[in-house]
Amino acid sequence: MSVPLVIKLGGRVVTDNDCLQQLFSTVTRLAALRPLVLVHGGGDQVQSLLQQLGQSSHKVDGQRITPAAHMPIVAGVLAGDINTQLCAVAQQHQLLAVGLTLAAGGTVQCSQDTSRGAVGIPSPGSAQLLESLIEQNYLPIVSSIGVSAAGERLNVNADLAAAAIAQVLHADLILLTDVPGILDQHGQLIDTIHADQAADLVASGVIKDGMVVKLQAALQAAQASRRSIAVAGWQDANALTRLAKGEAAGTRVRY
């Protein structure tokens, strides 16, 4: 089996059906090149439903604070609504999608970050389930809902979840976003970020908010796999094809 590619879906693409159709046309082409696993979150949809239900929610350093009382809502949106929607679109494109959570088959283990509530800190678990599915030409689509050793459902940042899955499979990783990659203070694409540059870019405010978590996830996966990780925009099908072939596009994060 060739090296799998883990793609984390994020941003507007998971809220807009036209965008999803565009993305899955590209995913179909990528699936012909190498095995794929898709990982997704859905923070905007969670936030929207919480507001509709009169609940408040906020983020710290790009990660959502999740009270335990919110988990039925979070799990319903991520593992229910969004995951089944992604599987439905995949089926439209003749892809054999299988919807999963991080806990399925012990793929990703999670400890609880009690300072953030019902938030999980992911670490690599077992590759057996995903490898079995990939070998049979299924497309795993994994929501970022984890489970603690005590059986508590946990909300996991999807970038960090994707990094953990990439480590499980010794896979390449692409973190998709609404912009072409990680941008500098002038809005220009940063082609390459090395591990020793990351702290300065964050401290200076060049990289901030949710992009800090993406950079953290990319560094984590790059250091574990000893290969570079890509942060790229989902809109550019040609860029995604180049990345799937191991060519340059977006921002490359190197260990």
Please, what are the domains in the chain?
Answer: 5-254 (3.40.1160.10)
pLDDT tens, the chain, 255 aa long = 689 999 999 877 888 888 899 999 999 999 998 999 999 999 889 999 999 999 988 877 767 899 999 999 999 999 999 999 999 999 999 999 999 999 999 999 999 999 999 999 999 999 999 999 999 999 999 999 999 999 999 999 999 999 999 999 999 999 998 889 998 888 889 999 988 888 889 889 888 877 888 888 888 888 887 888 899 988 888 888 888 888 888 999 988
User: What pLDDT shows up at residue 62?
Assistant: 67
What pLDDT does residue 144 have?
A: 97
Q: What is the 3-state secondary structure (H, E, C) of 9-60?
A: ECHHHHCCHHHHHHHHHHHHHHHCCCCEEEEECCHHHHHHHHHHCCCCCCEE
Query: Which residues, at least 6 apart from 125, have a Cβ–Cβ distance to it below 8 Å?
Result: 106, 107, 108, 109, 164, 168
State the pLDDT at residue 155.
97
Whole-number pLDDT of residue 1 = 66
Q: Which pair of tokens denotes residue 183?
A: 């941008």
Q: Which residues are catalytic?
A: 8, 11, 43, 159, 214
Q: How many CB atoms lie within 10 A of CB 121?
A: 17
The verdict on whether residue 64 carries a ligand-binding annotation is yes
Q: Which two tokens stand for residue 248?
A: 């340059």
Flag whether 153 is marked binding.
no
Which residues share a beta bridge with 93? none
Which pLDDT value is given to residue 149?
A: 96
Helix ranges (DSSP H) in 53-108: 71-75, 83-92
C-alpha distance from residue 41 to each of 34, 79, 248 (Å): 23, 9, 26
Task: Flag whether 155 is marked binding.
Answer: yes
Contact between 79 and 228 (Cβ < 8 Å):
no
Closest CA to 184 of 198, 201, 162: 201
